[in-house]
Structure 1
């Protein structure tokens, strides 16, 4: 929810908010039209609350406020927890490569239940990437003059592990609750990202046309990989059965409530079939591998997965296609 609200003053719309001291602030938007006021408000609020200081904490807060509604902001709530203690009080332009390296070493050495071997370089790469993104934004808005070098560990190669069709069938049979089994079928049948699958509502499942709209048309945030895809006959029948028993607008539900995570149920099923590495993303990856193995073009696979750039699809999945580089190999016959 925005930190500001629209109010009226003598017929004219204003933007109102409380500052960091709890004092009420109000600013005229120069219009009596509600739609125009709503259009002007976010940018004006961002401008009025732009930080006067230049430490990272202030810049981070200003950036997330300016980018409110975008998917990355939700992720940044988590990355900030890792960055805040070291970088929060620092002046942005004072950050050095030594500071970045110290952050990397500290995170690599942090042992948790979830990360018994320390935080991975992929996660650290993302954390420092978000820091650099905020600093670039600050320079663009002329809050700072220079962006210091932000050194990051190399981004790890994407994991190639995937499930075979036999393994997925076993995984479904090992699922202890119906909603986990349905989620597995949905993720495999659409190649959806887990967030899209858990947020899918029945009004976007078109049984007449046999299509599923993974993107919520009312959600203005930029979401990765949310295409409109056809459903196969088997998935359609399972979804029809689930729709007849549904208690909420959400496709994946349990005990009359929408489901926020399937990690525990999926891990349990994975352990039962001796695939403890199974994850929601592995199901999407497996779906893409199957499409490539069946010889579908990279353009079609890219469209199905909702990739913005076919280069990403080709780089990751072309090697699974039986036709990939086949003509070139045939040219080398002796």
Structure 2
């Protein structure tokens, strides 16, 4: 079969790799139909976090092709959502709804031979990982597929940021970041009852328009201290009850901390790179830091009805659609910020 392989800085190639097969009785093999390129994939693409020869991609949906003899929750022919980490469903962390810390789980392409940007994948612990989109396992209508794909990672991650922040009805929330996670954090803040949502850090008109569509009341195009002053002016000095940090750079994290009012919570879901947090100012202002890697498997059943009922449309953040053969161009476009997030149609015959 064919799959995307990272071969060095800014180099993604489709290469021939072995077909996956059932190796454990709890495995399933999924034929991938749609995949997405994640902002965290770009860290790898830019030369950080993985060596050449690494399979890549962790957001995907498709049809179960084969199951091991101990798999009971899905069957061949079921159309499923695949969370960005696989998990056993049985360990103490999975039972607590923290599947991202599963003692036997892992991340596609780094802790598992297969990854999400390929024609098929072996899914360990199928019962603890896979989620049928519809109760009977049938394929949902095509218009829902982009939003269902976003349930594999980005929508739950934005929701995780908002939930961990403890947003209460009427709260003022500032979301730092204009990527797919950022706009989904805006959406999640609205779903949790935020009274006012400000999206900070973007000067891109198309991203600002999307943030407004997802529920942002105001857009702050400035960054750093200029962003802090802008939010201070918008809130008449009250600042934010909750700040959702969705980027992960030292600059974005420093801005997020400055936007927090005394007693506020800063919830971070941006993969941190080189972030160093000064504790003394947080101590004096009683600011809480929370967040971390999202347990998507725990949130998918909660968020799935919102997508199926049309209440939430996170798939609108997929602003570019690409054929499987054009996957390298999808990375180029996201890296150059020509596309917010790429949807890839995976051709089983490619």
- TM value normalised by structure 1: 0.27
- Larger % of helix: which? 1
- Larger % of strand: which? 2
- TM value normalised by structure 2: 0.26
